[in-house]
Copies of this chain bind each other. A is one copy, B any other.
């Protein structure tokens, strides 16, 4: 396994990313792992700062996530939300009572001058999370889904419209003037950084905002560490979310090939589900096959170990290419 003084960055979106992040947190010590979370889905609702991916990661690592519904907290009640319905409020974005409290406290912390990083750190500490969970940026970046029906902020597309409209493109409003969060920059520049793991999140809207932040792609390259991505496409489908639909509507192959092409020469290794071993793949990076479907904690930990193991196979300065297994 990876040396105890070596460090790892995980780039991560929501549910799928959070699963691997949880696995990594069981394998790496708190000082070794920085989980950098997409905030392109963030928006304000009822005056509250909604950070869907940050909360999914926080609730998952804090052991309070609702695994059935894939968002929010387990053992949740809905009294505020039911009352909002009675009041004729917008209720397409559901917030449970406990979940609401997290949003209220984030609002209070931000109003008190906390950065989103500092607010996240404060909240995570209350959930007993020792590993570093940070937003990709403390500046607001807004993922906009361009559809045949017009532009939609990501959560409007994803939750309100249930991913129904056909995608014609996407963009990240505000990204040019956003900076990577200080913790993200520090982690990228850390001399002990040994690997960057791209979790099996939506490449377009979960990972891309993180990578496209000014300077990040260059910093990743400059770090010289292996970049290992876990493909979110298994058997031509996404485990969760609209990734497969987006690949298709953007006229890209709905396959591991599509994922490899999307990340291009940023990747050293693409980790592909073992069930897709027969899919023809033409990549400029290594491909590693293993189980990538993480239903149990053991599967999450196993995939984390596979990713870390792949990073050790990378030869600095070398050109290790081709498929393993």
Q: Say whether B107 contacts A80, CB under 8 Å.
A: no
Within A55-105, the residues touching B (CB, 8 Å) are 77, 79-84, 86-90, 97-98, 100-102, 104-105
Chain B residues, Cβ within 8 Å of A48: 47, 104
Pick the residue among B46, B97, B108 that contacts A83 (CB under 8 A). Answer: B97
A5 within 8 A of B: no
In the complex, how many angstroms separate the beta carbon of A156 from the nearest chain B beta carbon?
15
Chain B residues, Cβ within 8 Å of A87: 101-102, 105, 123, 126
What count of chain A residues pass the 8 Å CB interface test? 30
Q: Which residue of B lies closest to A89 (CB)?
A: B105
Chain B residues, Cβ within 8 Å of A84: 101, 104-105
Q: Say whether A89 contacts B108, CB under 8 Å.
A: yes
Chain B residues, Cβ within 8 Å of A89: 101, 104-105, 108
Q: Say whether B83 contacts A102, CB under 8 Å.
A: yes
Whole-angstrom CA separation of A46 from B123 in the bound complex = 15
Within A252-303, the residues touching B (CB, 8 Å) are none
Whole-angstrom CA separation of A80 from B101 in the bound complex = 5
Most chain B CB within 10 A, of A44, A81, A98, A122, is at A98
Chain B residues, Cβ within 8 Å of A46: 104-105, 107-108
The 9 A-B pairs of least Cβ separation, nearest first, read A83-B101, A79-B97, A47-B107, A46-B104, A80-B101, A83-B98, A47-B47, A80-B97, A89-B105
